Structure 1
Amino acid sequence: MDIEIVDAVSALYSTINAPKRNEETYDKLASVFGSAGMTQYSESNQSFNLQISSSIYKRYGAEFAEYNKRYSQYESEGINRLFEEDTYGWLTEQEGWLEEENVIDREDFLFIREKTGLARTVGVNLSEPAGWKHAVIIHYPEIVKDIPKNLDKHIALLAPHIAKTVNLNSFLHGLYYKYQAVLSVLDGLSVAVCVCDYRGYIIVSNRQAQHIVSMKDGVYLKNRKLCFSNSEQNSQFRASTRKIAGTSQGKGNLTGVSFFIERPSGKHPFYVEQSPIKDGCYEVENNLSGSIIYIIDTQSPPEIDVSIFASVISLTPSEAHISNMIFKGLKDRDMADYRGVSVETVRKQIKSILSKAQVNSRIELLIKAVSIRPPIL
């Protein structure tokens, strides 16, 4: 990767616990894409809201506000079309409205072009199936007649990292906005979370992580390093830790790994997910480039906000109720008795829930629910 891309990737992972760095980071991304600016949108309450922007939004804040007031209906239509693309797929403005021959001459595009000099847009779908919907919009000035030829390559390189940081920020933003910090207040999460450096040494961990390692049931600490009873997984974890730390420095391309840890006790496995992070706010250690790890005890899952989960994957009220009972560990017969229906009815509903969530098991369903709405105390 060239130095500009390395710098952009490294900057992205420094935003995970430092949202104030978003604007300058998106300026760097816009530069890589050869554009004038970038904006990132996420779905919220069945509408799409601006989450992050490069400095272009600050420069033209009044103009964009007027645009949103007058022409937001066009924006929603185009973004919905974008979400029909595969993950990391992208569309130009003309491809977003195929039924219109010269969309750049439509009133909303004319307004933006006249007020800001921006003319062309490219949308990138960051969403995975059955989850929150996220997208970035890349804005090009009027003088750029053609989309850069290397755009496809740059999107392929950077979109997975943008998506990863958007998802991690979604996971951790509650900590930041409640406590104005992330790494130093991980006890605010009721899932196990720890941060380690490139060598695998734990820098900070929360109470739930300390509880899990104290059980020594497949996961334990040795000389401040997180270890697993399975030697093969232990070796793989060491290798991924080094690679992920490299990604946070812009020197690698591994956005994360996830795996299950079997427990000698025979209880349900631990689910482990590892992602790059930089300590952008110097909360715990200067120049830390490492990985953030969260561990879900699927035997004793955290409390899940089922209402939000149900909304995101379009569950019926009955399916939402069944999901809640699944997360509490109830068996099919217990669910059927509680709801006054047959076991077969419950099993049909569970099959429908798994299908909507695009997962294959109840444990995967739990993990999906936690990723959609992390439990913040």
Structure 2
Amino acid sequence: MIDLKAMALVAKSLDAAVEEARWEQVADLLCDALDLRSCSFMSIKPDLTPAGFLASSEILRINGNKLFARTMQGDYRDDLDLIAGSLKLPPHVLLRERDFHGVGQADPLPPSSLRDFMRNEFGIYERDTIKLSEFGPAADLVVLHTSADKPTLMDGDRDAIRLLAPILAQSIRMKRIFEALKQRFNSALGALDRLGIGSLLVDGKGDIISINSCAQRILESKDGLYKNPRGQLACNDEACDRDLRQGCLAAFETAKGDGLHAQTVLAVKRRSGEPDYLLTISPVADPLAEIEPGFRSTLVFVVDPSDDARLSVEGVQHLGQLTRAEVSVLKLMVSGASTREISDLRDVSEETVRRQIKSILAKLNYRNRADVIRLAVATRLPLDAPEDAEGMDRHLISEI
């Protein structure tokens, strides 16, 4: 197998852990790397019935509904002994159809209506199987289909699939973890969405696992933040992008217990000239192992200060016991107004505004305006939370 093809396959399989649609690309790359006619990733229950298909390569996808229908209807009974043999083997051991039946290369294989159908419909000659992993009530398999031009796998191909099998198995395992993670956090992210807070669940590389519609709109505007071709959260500014990646990795390592970095706060400049996006990157731990023992992730909040309809100063006013003049300044601060603009709007000197801002920061024990805006968002949540936010994890709110 060509090394570059192997590297591309490994990279794509790791990406597919986050985005299920990429498994079709993994199947295509596997066929290209091993010179296969086709391949299919599937799960089998202990009673030898299919538990589902993850992905198939291009030839099967073109008219694969026929194969899927026949399989789900039970048109595989001639192959039950072969399937049982695959499940009995330990993970990552290749089972060749001919070896299992003890049939030489020049001899005919035992009758199989499903194999005959696949040969006539798709040009598939033989089927080799390798068990990737076992999870709960089923086992994951990848079935490798050869063609008449190359009816059997070469020794190098067999070695390659044995090396690739643990990586493919790990990617499928991570896919299931991410699915569970999405289910756990989607309701919380949805509640934050209604409150105008962009929220993303990412891994240590910044790969987006889950995202609410508010964050999706922000990324689609590409006004400072966007989703890159690898499916990762990214900044238009190179230096900011570097800080973002370091923050995601630091939070991820902290959540795993390998670091001591609780939170990263970033201001992301926007091409439009609107006030900077304010990002908070925090670790998300799973101490009760509700998802997977030892698994952790990263939560990113995005606040858009220009969306002042989502901000309130009432909570900040009560917390800081601000004066009436300070509240007036605070309202303009969270709307993104500069010191000069506040001075003009309030008809006072810039020095007066600076003193008032300094007093506000001192009363709140904060260092800059960005912290105040985050507080305005955080203190709004308990005041106006919608009904569907009642059950959300309150630690999400406290992390903003």
- TM-score, normalised with respect to structure 1: 0.48
**Larger RCO of the pair (alpha carbons < 8 Å, separation 6+):** 1
Say which one has the larger Rg: 2
